[in-house]
Amino acid sequence: MYGVGLLGAGWVAGEYIKAFHDHPLTEIVGIYNRTPGKATQLLRTHGVPGKEYASLAEFLADDRIQIVVSCTQPNVRAEHCVAAAQTGRHLVIEKPVGIARAQTAAIREAVAKAGVKTVTSFVLRWNPQFETVRQLIDDGGLGELIYGEADYWHPARRARPGSASTRKDVVGSAFLSGGCHAVDMLRWLGGEVDEVSAYAAPPKRVTTFEFDPVVVASLRFVNGAVGKLSALLDGDTPYRFNCRLFGTNGSIQNNEVYSSQKYPGAREYWSFPTITPNSGDVSHHPFKAEIAHFVECLEQNVESHASIYDSYKSMAICYAIDESVAKGGQPVKVVDD
């Protein structure tokens, strides 16, 4: 059995409790949250026994914990993950992996030095639609990428002055706070990105944002393909997550596929029925599949395809986008080494 300790008792923590509680090889040991009583309340809500820790030091001193789940606010993630890695704990790291390049690099360095395993919760990699798309690509249904794009449109519904989701010092930017999902998916399916050029727009509907909530970036992939990424937190629209890929062997638009090579009789796109990423609610996300994958990685002593070493590359694109915005749209190279 792997003992699991959670850092943070917010919205997403409950989904991790469900996933680990249901897994036969893991058990919840306890939670540290800076607000007293919140951890106990969350554990009781889910009917799970566990300890509420009074401090991070007390949490890290509990030898029953082998896996640490970082689901705190992003601005303290690096501090907590580095400390947990230094004590030899494996890590489940919520996105974003820090809000500054140095923070993400510090986590990667601490993990490498400690030799622990990690998985980053770019959880849409386990969404059934994208698992199918990944298999279609592996089977040659896309070929070499020509053009790719992804959109993260998640308008703020509960944004208010001072709330964490609107504060630059807590969540960083539109792409760091949520748009990183689109960045990671496009990179995972389409390949590495070499250069970006991005523009941003200030808030018009939800004026409490301390950063530009609308950002669009043009991309150049390493293979010479081009693409686009967008993050929209301020529009009058339901949640949408789009991913479109056009290649030499075919094209994939969300859960629609066309390939004259693979399906010579097709005249139009055909859609495959699946669970799509059509909700921003954390209860819709496949945390159970992510955790099952991570435990298997621990059992087999292998790195996850979403380890800190891989997710660092997705975060590097986010940092390049923010740098380009700050420079008025000038092209910025993606630095991921």
What tens digit of pLDDT does each residue of 7-56 get? 999 989 999 999 999 999 999 999 999 999 999 999 999 999 999 999 99
What pLDDT, on a 0 to 100 scale, did the predictor assign at position 273?
97
pLDDT score recorded for residue 175? 98
Q: What is the layout of strands, in order, in the sheet containing 90-93?
A: 51-53, 26-32, 2-7, 67-70, 90-93, 118-120
Kindly report the pTM of this predicted structure. Answer: 0.96
pLDDT, tens digit, for every residue of 56-82?
999 999 999 999 999 999 999 999 999
Beta strands in 189-255 (DSSP E): 193-201, 214-221, 226-232, 240-247, 251-253
Share of the chain above pLDDT 70, in %: 98
Q: Which CATH number fits domain 2-123+291-307: 3.40.50.720, 3.30.70.330, 3.50.50.60, 3.40.50.2300?
A: 3.40.50.720
pLDDT of residue 159: 63
Do the domains 124-278+312-333 and 2-123+291-307 match in fold? no
DSSP letters along 128-166, please? HHHHHHHHHHHTTSS-SEEEEEEEEE---SS--TT-GGG
As to burial, measured by CB atoms within 10 angstroms (0-12 exposed, 13-18 middle, 19+ buried), residue 55 is exposed
CATH number at 124-278+312-333: 3.30.360.10
Under 8 Å between Cβ of 65 and 88: no
Q: Is the pLDDT of residue 275 over 90?
A: yes
337 — pLDDT class (breaks 50, 70, 90) = confident
The two structure tokens encoding residue 10: 């917010």
**What residue segments make up the domains of the chain, in order of their start?**
2-123+291-307, 124-278+312-333
The pLDDT tens digits of the residues spanning 124-163 come to: 999 999 999 999 999 999 999 999 999 999 987 666 666 8
